[in-house]
Amino acid sequence: MAISFPLFPRDPESQLHLAALQALSHNISLRGNMSETLNLTRAFIHVISDSPYNYDYVYFRLHQGLSEDYLALKDHYNHYIYSQGMEHMLEVLNRELGDFMDYFNDFQIIMDNIDKRSKYDQAYAPLNVLIWGLYCSMYDRKKLNAYLNKSVQILTQIKLEEHQVMCN
């Protein structure tokens, strides 16, 4: 049986959501000197802003590879962060965000808009999972690094598979 994966919509609102992610990635790149974690976060945001239209297989594989991580991160976030109240959330964010702090508000606005759309448009579900996974991981630097490193491993595996196909 074939796997069905929703194509990301091409309406103007959807294009604006991806453009906002691309602009955020670009703004981060202008920073110049940045930590490795911020650079990986920027790269992840860039990939998820570009892949739904231009690299749908990458988009599919990232979603497939990070969905279980998202569920675990969401459970951790709901139990240990969100349930403790806003003051605790802000305390943890201030401690864990590092140099992404300058971009967090923009990221959260974009994420909220995508989340709202995903409530009534199932084609947004994969992107919403990827973004929420990133968001939930931001409350723990080790979890963030693990999430970002796993995304790099997935992209590296795709590149390896492409190379093997080209050589055969």
CB 48, CB 63: distance < 8 Å:
no
Residue 4 within any structural domain of the chain = no
Task: Cite the DSSP H helix spans in 30-140.
Answer: 36-54, 56-76, 86-96, 101-118, 125-137
What are the tokens at 86?
A: 């806003």
Q: What is the pLDDT of residue 29?
A: 95
What is the residue range of 137's domain? 12-27+36-167
pLDDT tens profile 23-81: 999 999 998 889 999 999 999 999 999 999 999 999 999 999 999 999 999 999 999 99
Instruction: Please write the tens of the pLDDT for every residue from 120-135.
Output: 999 999 999 999 999 9
pLDDT (tens digit, 9 = 90+) per residue, 86-144? 999 999 999 999 999 999 999 999 999 999 999 999 999 999 999 999 999 999 999 99
CA-wise closest residue to 161 among 77, 57, 66: 57
Residue 146 maps to a domain: yes
Q: Is the residue at 78 inside a domain? A: yes
In a domain, 63, yes or no: yes
